[in-house]
Protein backbone atom coordinates (compact mmCIF):
# COMPACT_ATOMS: atom_id res chain seq x y z
CA UNK A 1 0.00 0.00 0.00
CA UNK A 2 1.44 3.37 -0.95
CA UNK A 3 1.97 6.04 1.69
CA UNK A 4 -0.80 8.22 0.25
CA UNK A 5 -3.31 5.35 0.52
CA UNK A 6 -2.29 4.28 4.03
CA UNK A 7 -5.13 4.52 6.55
CA UNK A 8 -4.24 6.45 9.71
CA UNK A 9 -6.15 7.66 12.75
CA UNK A 10 -5.60 11.00 14.46
CA UNK A 11 -6.80 12.49 17.70
CA UNK A 12 -7.33 16.19 16.98
CA UNK A 13 -7.93 18.88 19.61
CA UNK A 14 -9.38 22.21 18.44
CA UNK A 15 -9.45 25.45 20.43
CA UNK A 16 -10.92 28.83 19.54
CA UNK A 17 -14.52 29.66 18.59
CA UNK A 18 -15.42 26.00 18.13
CA UNK A 19 -18.48 25.52 20.36
CA UNK A 20 -21.89 27.00 19.67
CA UNK A 21 -20.99 27.69 16.03
CA UNK A 22 -22.04 24.44 14.32
CA UNK A 23 -18.54 22.93 14.44
CA UNK A 24 -19.59 19.34 15.16
CA UNK A 25 -22.25 19.35 12.45
CA UNK A 26 -19.82 20.89 9.96
CA UNK A 27 -17.27 18.24 10.95
CA UNK A 28 -19.77 15.42 10.31
CA UNK A 29 -20.74 16.89 6.94
CA UNK A 30 -17.07 17.26 5.95
CA UNK A 31 -16.08 13.81 7.23
CA UNK A 32 -18.97 12.11 5.43
CA UNK A 33 -18.08 13.92 2.20
CA UNK A 34 -14.42 12.94 2.45
CA UNK A 35 -14.96 9.32 3.51
CA UNK A 36 -13.48 9.84 6.99
CA UNK A 37 -14.72 7.78 9.94
CA UNK A 38 -14.54 8.65 13.64
CA UNK A 39 -16.28 11.00 16.04
CA UNK A 40 -16.34 14.54 17.40
CA UNK A 41 -17.44 15.93 20.78
CA UNK A 42 -17.45 19.13 22.82
CA UNK A 43 -15.16 19.26 25.84
CA UNK A 44 -15.90 20.95 29.19
CA UNK A 45 -13.27 23.67 28.60
CA UNK A 46 -14.87 25.02 25.39
CA UNK A 47 -12.63 23.05 23.05
CA UNK A 48 -13.58 20.22 20.67
CA UNK A 49 -12.01 16.76 20.50
CA UNK A 50 -12.10 14.58 17.40
CA UNK A 51 -10.84 11.20 16.31
CA UNK A 52 -10.58 10.91 12.53
CA UNK A 53 -9.62 7.87 10.47
CA UNK A 54 -8.80 7.82 6.76
CA UNK A 55 -5.90 8.62 4.49
CA UNK A 56 -3.77 11.69 5.18
CA UNK A 57 -5.33 13.32 2.12
CA UNK A 58 -8.91 12.58 3.27
CA UNK A 59 -8.26 13.96 6.75
CA UNK A 60 -6.57 17.10 5.40
CA UNK A 61 -9.45 17.74 2.99
CA UNK A 62 -11.93 17.29 5.86
CA UNK A 63 -10.01 19.83 7.96
CA UNK A 64 -10.07 22.36 5.09
CA UNK A 65 -13.84 21.98 4.77
CA UNK A 66 -14.36 22.41 8.51
CA UNK A 67 -12.25 25.56 8.50
CA UNK A 68 -14.52 27.06 5.81
CA UNK A 69 -17.45 27.14 8.27
CA UNK A 70 -18.80 30.68 8.48
CA UNK A 71 -18.59 31.17 12.26
CA UNK A 72 -15.84 28.67 13.06
CA UNK A 73 -12.54 30.26 14.16
CA UNK A 74 -9.88 27.67 14.97
CA UNK A 75 -7.11 29.30 17.01
CA UNK A 76 -5.12 26.14 17.60
CA UNK A 77 -5.16 22.57 16.33
CA UNK A 78 -3.10 19.87 18.06
CA UNK A 79 -3.00 16.30 16.82
CA UNK A 80 -1.20 13.02 17.11
CA UNK A 81 -1.55 9.59 15.54
CA UNK A 82 -3.40 6.94 17.51
CA UNK A 83 -4.19 3.24 16.87
CA UNK A 84 -6.75 2.41 14.16
CA UNK A 85 -10.31 1.37 15.01
CA UNK A 86 -10.55 -1.65 12.74
CA UNK A 87 -14.33 -2.11 12.60
CA UNK A 88 -15.49 1.50 12.74
CA UNK A 89 -18.06 2.78 10.27
CA UNK A 90 -19.31 6.32 9.76
CA UNK A 91 -18.59 9.55 11.56
CA UNK A 92 -20.55 10.38 14.71
CA UNK A 93 -21.32 13.38 16.87
CA UNK A 94 -20.97 12.56 20.56
Q: Which of 38, 40, 27, 33 is nearest to 68 (CA)?
A: 27
Cα separation, 92 vs 32, whole angstroms? 10
Is 24 catalytic? The answer is yes
For the residues of 14-60, what is the DSSP string, one character each? EEEE-SSSSHHHHHHHHHHHHT-EEEEEE-TTS-EEEEEEEEHHHHH
Kindly name the residue from 9, 26, 41, 42 that is annotated as catalytic: 42
Residues forming a β-bridge with 76: 15
Is 42 catalytic? The answer is yes
Kindly name the residue from 5, 9, 24, 81 that is annotated as catalytic: 24
Catalytic sites, residue numbers = 24, 42
Amino acid sequence: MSVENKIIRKEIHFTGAVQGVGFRYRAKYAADGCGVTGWVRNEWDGSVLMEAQGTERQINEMLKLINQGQYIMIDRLDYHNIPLEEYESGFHIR
